Amino acid sequence: QSLNRGGGLKTSNEQLLSQNYPETDQDENKDDNSHRKKSDEVVAGLRVQNSKTVHLCSTCGKKFNSMGNLKQHMQIHTGEKPHSCSAYGKKFTLKTHLNEHMRIHTDDKPHSCSTCGKTFGSKSHLNRHMQIHTGEKPFFCSICGKRFSSATNLRTHIRIHTGEKPYSCSTCGVAGALRTRIRIHTSEKPYSCSTCGKGFNHKASFKIHMELHTDEKPHCCSVCGKKFTSSVQLKRHIGKHATC
């Protein structure tokens, strides 16, 4: 360890400076201003380097620029969901996901589809919806090659290959790959129609039902232009064109 001019131990930054710019009486007398300028540049470089500290997730290897973002990300792996819906108790990992969900109750849907006019509470939901019109399926199974429009659908599909059953009945312990299957088993129906009171155990079924009240038909046949309330109805209709 070396000493600085004041007689104390040099810090790591001072040691780095001395390695790059060794002190001599001649240099000090000749180029004091130049030396100080270069020193300032090195210190500035150290600050930039320190500000780019990378926080690495030990589970999946994803990198983050702050410890706060890493801690938030870790909740995905731990299953922690600290943010709860005040209406019917549904829990979320991220505050932003809760805020998006709450728009279901407030009917706040600022994002609109330029193709069919359907509105959504979040940009991510709009992007997912747009794949209906584009037919885009960017997510594919590395085992069988089947493609999906969302990462969620791909993760669900992967369980067919792995046999994973992450959801279980709290009463009897029966396990399932889909949360919906467990809800059918327990008769739980967390999605309720505010118009007629009908309950649903699956979000997709709930959405299709709500379109019946609004007369909304976002699914359009590319062959004849006829519109339908649900994608199921559209697929059934498309089959008629195929047999003609």
CATH of the domain at 87: 3.30.160
Greater confidence (134 vs 6) lies with 134
pLDDT digits (tens, 9 = 90+) for 37-53: 555 554 444 444 444 67
Residue-range definition of the domain harbouring residue 98 = 80-109
Most confident of 16-20, 30-34, 218-222, 229-233: 218-222
Q: Could you give the percent of the chain with pLDDT greater than 70?
A: 76
pLDDT digits (tens, 9 = 90+) for 156-212: 888 889 888 877 777 787 777 777 777 777 778 888 888 888 888 777 788 778 777
Give the predicted TM-score (pTM) of the model.
0.39
For the chain, what is the HEC assignment?
Answer: CCECCCCCECCHHHHHHHHHCCCCHHHHHHCHHHHHHHHHHHHHHHHHHHHCCCEECCCCCCEECCHHHHHHHHHHHHCCCCEECCCCCCEECCHHHHHHHHHHHHCCCCEECCCCCCEECCHHHHHHHHHHHHCCCCEECCCCCCEECCHHHHHHHHHHHHCCCCEECCCCCCEECCHHHHHHHHCCCCEECCCCCCEECCHHHHHHHHHHHHCCCCEECCCCCCEECCHHHHHHHHHHHHHC
* Within a domain: 156: no
Greater confidence (97 vs 14) lies with 97
Greater confidence (228 vs 16) lies with 228
* Within a domain: 152: no
* Within a domain: 87: yes
Residue 12, pLDDT > 80, answer no
* Within a domain: 7: no
- Kindly state the average pLDDT of the residues 56-70: 86
Provide the domain count of the chain.
1
pLDDT digits (tens, 9 = 90+) for 149-169: 888 888 888 888 988 887 777
Return the pLDDT at 100.
Answer: 76
* Within a domain: 179: no
- Kindly state the average pLDDT of the residues 103-125: 78
* Within a domain: 102: yes
* Within a domain: 163: no
